[in-house]
Structure 1
Amino acid sequence: MTTVLVAGATGSLGSLIVKNLLERGAEVRALVRKPSTDKPAAHPNLTLCVGDLADGSDALQRHVDGVEVVVSAVQGGPEVIIDGQRELLRAAERAGVHRMIPSDFSINLFGYGYGINVLSDLRRVFADAFATSTVARTSVAIGAFPEFFLGPVHEVLDPAAGTFSVWGDGMRAIDITTIGDTAAFTAAIALDPTTAGREVHVVGQQLTMLELRNEIEAASGRRWELVRRGTLEDLRAEIARRQFNASSVVEYVALQAQVAMFDGTAALRDVRNADYPDVTPTSVAAYLARRGAAHFAAPQVARQRGEWPTPV
């Protein structure tokens, strides 16, 4: 039985990774900041480990002793993605952990250079720590989460105005994978030793922005006016304008992700869904028919100013 530690185990993604690992028969240690009402449900193969990445590698080591794979689903700024995960990696090294899946779970972060996307930059800086590590890195790329891509931060869907906005021609296919499917794939990848030292790209569905609009119209039963906001060069100019005036990365980071998605540099390569045939991805239509229908109604709660967002 493989023993896996999951950091960020009570988050929207981490909690589902824990669930999927348990369903696959793994022994799971869930790293949680403190016992709380949102802690994972009791399970004979689940151990709750109270701790925080900020505790440092010495304190974290007791949680990873005897662990074969570490999965990180934490979110935050550089103090979490770089500093915190680095402490977890150091603890894993001393404990003899074989592999670690860092908290990437986004578009193809390594398809483009530094300076394009601030969230990608944080993850690439942490990835460099594996160059001299005894722990093998497995990075999971899934494209965009529809839960966030169709939310207010990406400015694609505006339920109040009834509009669907596109930068560029909208004809390039983009990668979309639900949080639930990402968790299912991640659990399978965590238990697959052949992924050591590799990038693993998996996807729910690939479709163009114009095809996405068609799916939204079919699911919602209403027309969404297509708004062409400009070329990709116009998009880059808008990002630069916002960066100059921004008080928070939230004001422009979603558009940074869209640039890389729409110009193709963030596209997934060598998609390996076939390696995990027991994971059946959710189509965009199926997502919109269920939980995704919430996107058609009132806007979600606004993100707090200064809060570091989820990658995509």
Structure 2
Amino acid sequence: MTTVLVAGATGSLGRQVVEKLLDRGADVRALVRPASVDELAAHPNLTPCVGDLADGADALARHLDGVEVVVSAVQGGPEVIIDGQRALLRAAEGAGVHRMVPSDFSINLHGYGYGVNVLSDLRRVFADEFATSSVARTSVAIGAFPEYFLGAVHEVLDPAASTFSLWGEGTRPIDVTTIPDTAAHTAAIALDPKTAGREVHVVGQRLSMLELRDEVEAASGRRWELVRKGTLRDLREEVARRRFTASTMFQCVALQAQVAMFDGTGSLRDVRNADYPDVVPTSVAAYLADRGAAHFTPPDTTWGRDEWPTAL
């Protein structure tokens, strides 16, 4: 039985990674803050580990004895993605952990350079820590979560106005993978020793923005007016404008991701779905017919542009 420690185990992705690992027979340790312990479901192979990445490597070390793989599903700024994960990596090195899956779970981080997407930059900086580490890095790329991409943060769907907005022509395929499918793939990849030192790309579905609009109209049963916001050059200029005028990075990171999605530099490469045939991805149509139907009505609460967006 493989022992896996999951950081961020009560987040929208982390809790499902825990469930999928348990389904596959792993022994799971869930690293959670004291206030989140009660959010963990009881399971004979699940052990709560109370702690925080901010506690530092020495404090985290006690949770890692006997752990073979670490999966990080945390999110945040540099204090989490770089500093916090670095502390977890140092603790893992001291405990003899074999591999770590960092909290990447995004588009192809290495298809474009620094300065395009601030969150990608943070992940790349942390990736450099593995160059001299005894712990092998296994990075999972999935494209975009539809839970976020069709939410307020990406400014694509406006359910109150029934509009669907895009930049560019909208004909280039983009990669989307639901959070549950990402969790299922992550569990399989974490337990696959062949992924040591590799970038593993998996995807739920590839479709263009225009095809995505068709799926939204079919699932909602109503017309969504297509709003063309401008060219990809216009998108880059809008990102630059927001970087100088926004009070927080949250007001431009989604559009930064769209730049790489829509110009193809963030597209997934060498997709490895066939390596994990027991994970059957959810189509966009199936997602929209189920949980994703919530995108079609205005939310009860407004997303604050100074905070991390919360998935459905």
Asked if TM exceeds 0.5, the reply is: yes
Residues 151 and 299 in structure 1, CA contact (< 8 A), matched pair in contact too: no
Query: 1:145 is matched with which residue?
Result: 145
Query: 1:170 is matched with which residue?
Result: 170
The correspondence of residues 64-83 of structure 1 with structure 2, limited to 5 A, is: 64-83=64-83
Residues 35 and 50 in structure 1, CA contact (< 8 A), matched pair in contact too: no
Please tell me whether residue 107 in structure 1 is matched to residue 107 in structure 2. Answer: yes
Q: Which amino acid aligns with 1:202?
A: V
CA offsets, 1:263-305, max 9 Å, x none?
0000000000000000000000000000000000013633334
Q: How many residues are aligned here?
A: 311
Residues 76 and 309 in structure 1, CA contact (< 8 A), matched pair in contact too: no
Q: 1:309 to 1:89 in 2, by over 3 A?
A: farther
CA offsets, 1:82-128, max 9 Å, x none?
00000000000000000000000011111110000011011000000
Please tell me whether residue 16 in structure 1 is matched to residue 34 in structure 2. Answer: no
Once residues 302 and 242 of structure 1 are traced to their aligned partners in structure 2, the CA distance between those partners, rounded to angstroms, is: 20
Q: Which runs of 5+ in 1 are unaligned?
A: none
Once residues 257 and 52 of structure 1 are traced to their aligned partners in structure 2, the CA distance between those partners, rounded to angstroms, is: 28
CA offsets, 1:185-235, max 9 Å, x none?
000000000000000000000000000000000000000011111100000
Q: Which amino acid aligns with 1:164?
A: F
Identity of aligned residues (%): 80
Once residues 14 and 300 of structure 1 are traced to their aligned partners in structure 2, the CA distance between those partners, rounded to angstroms, is: 25
Q: Which amino acid aligns with 1:30?
A: A
Query: 2:190 is matched with which residue?
Result: 190
Please tell me whether residue 93 in structure 1 is matched to residue 107 in structure 2. Answer: no
Q: 1:19 to 1:181 in 2, by over 3 A?
A: same
Q: Which amino acid aligns with 2:141?
A: A
SS of the equivalent of 2:223 reads coil
Query: 2:134 is matched with which residue?
Result: 134
Once residues 37 and 60 of structure 2 are traced to their aligned partners in structure 1, the CA distance between those partners, rounded to angstroms, is: 23
Once residues 37 and 67 of structure 1 are traced to their aligned partners in structure 2, the CA distance between those partners, rounded to angstroms, is: 20
Once residues 22 and 157 of structure 2 are traced to their aligned partners in structure 1, the CA distance between those partners, rounded to angstroms, is: 36
SS of the equivalent of 1:100 reads strand
Q: 1:265 to 1:187 in 2, by over 3 A?
A: same
Which one is further off, 74-83 or 30-39?
A: 30-39
Q: Which amino acid aligns with 1:299?
A: P
Once residues 310 and 231 of structure 1 are traced to their aligned partners in structure 2, the CA distance between those partners, rounded to angstroms, is: 29
Residues 108 and 143 in structure 1, CA contact (< 8 A), matched pair in contact too: yes
Once residues 73 and 270 of structure 2 are traced to their aligned partners in structure 1, the CA distance between those partners, rounded to angstroms, is: 23
Q: 1:172 to 1:297 in 2, by over 3 A?
A: same
Residues 148 and 309 in structure 2, CA contact (< 8 A), matched pair in contact too: no
Query: 2:119 is matched with which residue?
Result: 119
Q: CA RMSD in A?
A: 1.3
Q: CA deviation at 1:7?
A: 0.2
Q: Which runs of 5+ in 2 are unaligned?
A: none
TM-score when scaled to structure 1? 0.97
Query: 1:84 is matched with which residue?
Result: 84
Once residues 223 and 27 of structure 2 are traced to their aligned partners in structure 1, the CA distance between those partners, rounded to angstroms, is: 48
Q: 1:261 to 1:90 in 2, by over 3 A?
A: same
Once residues 38 and 209 of structure 2 are traced to their aligned partners in structure 1, the CA distance between those partners, rounded to angstroms, is: 36
Which one is further off, 301-310 or 29-38?
A: 301-310
Once residues 70 and 287 of structure 2 are traced to their aligned partners in structure 1, the CA distance between those partners, rounded to angstroms, is: 29
SS of the equivalent of 2:39 reads coil
Q: Which amino acid aligns with 2:105?
A: F
